[in-house]
C-alpha cells in the first residue's frame, strides 16, 4: 500500500494573493484599543474629480495585503490568541488524534500531508465566560466587539454629517440603529441575541465580524462541497 505524501514530496499549494485593482487595503485603529488593526479597503473614484476614496468593508483577509507573506504550510498568524488568553478562563489540552473520517476516509496516495503547524487546542476552565455571547451578557466589552464596531463604522472616527437626518428619512422596520456604532451597542445587540460574532477561541486566526439585523452583514451562510464526510 502506498504511503502518505512525505515532506520531501510535498509541494505547497498556490493561493491567490496580492492587491486588488483600483483600490488599496488600509487599517484603522480603534480609539478604545490602540493595539488593534482593523482592515478596510479604499476604492479610488473618478480620476481628476477630486473625490476622496470610498472606504468599504474588506473580508479578504491578509491575502490582499502586499506587505504580508502567505505560507499555507505554516498557516495564518493567531492574532486573537493573545486576546483570548488576556481574558483568562482557558487552558491548553492535548485534544484528540486525527481519525480517518476526519479526512473523508481516504488513504494511501489520496491522503494529504498532515498540517505541520498543530497548535494545542484551548478549553474553558472555571466559571469565566468563553463565548462572545457569555461575555456580552456579563457586561464585558471584548476586543472582538471593539474590532467589529470599528469595522462597521468603516474606519470613521465620528458620526457622519447628516447621519441622524438620513436615519429619520428611512423606515426603521423596528430596528434601532445608531448613527455611529459603538462597542457598547455591539455588546448590547449580542447580549440581546439579535447579533452574533462567530469567534471560537480555537479559531484565533479569524478577523472578527458581526452578523445581525442592525449591522452590515445580515445573513451568514456556509455552503460547501468538501470531500470530508459529515
Domain chopping of the chain, boundaries: 23-212
| DSSP one-letter string for 128-177 | ---SHHHHHHTTPPPHHHHHHHHHHTTT-SSPPTTHHHHHHHS--TT---
The tens-digit pLDDT sequence of the chain (230 residues) is 445 555 566 666 677 788 888 899 999 999 989 999 999 999 988 776 788 889 999 999 999 999 998 888 888 889 999 999 999 999 999 988 878 777 777 776 777 676 777 889 999 999 999 999 999 999 999 999 999 999 999 988 766 666 777 777 777 666 677 888 999 999 999 999 999 999 999 999 999 999 998 999 988 887 766 665 54
* Whole-structure pTM value: 0.83
In the three-class reduction of DSSP (H, G, I as helix; E, B as strand; rest coil), residue 49 is classed as coil
Amino acid at each position: 500500500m502506498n504511503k502518505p505524501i512525505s515532506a520531501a514530496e510535498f509541494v505547497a499549494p498556490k493561493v491567490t494573493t496580492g492587491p486588488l485593482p483600483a483600490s488599496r487595503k488600509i487599517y484603522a485603529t480603534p480609539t478604545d484599543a490602540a493595539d488593534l488593526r482593523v482592515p478596510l479597503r479604499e476604492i479610488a473614484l473618478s480620476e481628476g474629480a477630486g473625490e476622496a476614496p470610498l472606504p468599504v468593508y474588506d473580508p479578504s483577509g491578509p491575502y490582499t495585503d502586499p506587505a504580508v507573506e502567505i505560507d499555507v504550510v505554516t498557516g495564518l498568524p493567531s492574532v486573537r490568541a493573545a486576546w483570548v488568553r488576556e481574558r483568562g478562563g482557558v487552558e491548553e489540552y492535548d485534544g484528540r488524534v486525527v481519525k480517518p473520517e476526519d479526512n473523508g476516509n481516504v488513504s494511501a496516495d489520496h491522503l494529504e500531508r498532515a498540517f505541520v503547524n498543530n497548535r494545542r487546542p484551548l478549553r474553558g476552565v472555571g466559571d469565566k465566560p468563553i463565548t462572545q455571547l457569555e461575555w456580552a451578557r456579563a457586561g464585558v466589552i471584548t476586543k472582538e466587539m471593539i474590532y467589529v464596531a470599528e469595522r462597521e463604522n468603516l474606519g470613521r472616527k465620528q458620526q457622519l454629517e447628516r447621519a441622524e437626518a438620513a436615519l429619520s428619512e428611512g423606515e426603521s422596520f423596528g430596528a434601532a440603529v445608531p448613527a455611529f456604532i459603538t462597542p457598547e451597542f455591539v455588546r448590547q445587540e449580542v447580549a440581546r441575541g439579535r447579533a452574533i460574532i462567530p469567534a471560537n477561541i480555537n479559531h484565533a486566526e479569524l478577523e472578527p465580524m458581526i452578523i445581525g439585523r442592525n449591522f452590515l452583514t445580515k445573513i451568514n451562510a456556509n455552503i460547501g462541497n468538501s470531500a470530508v464526510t459529515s
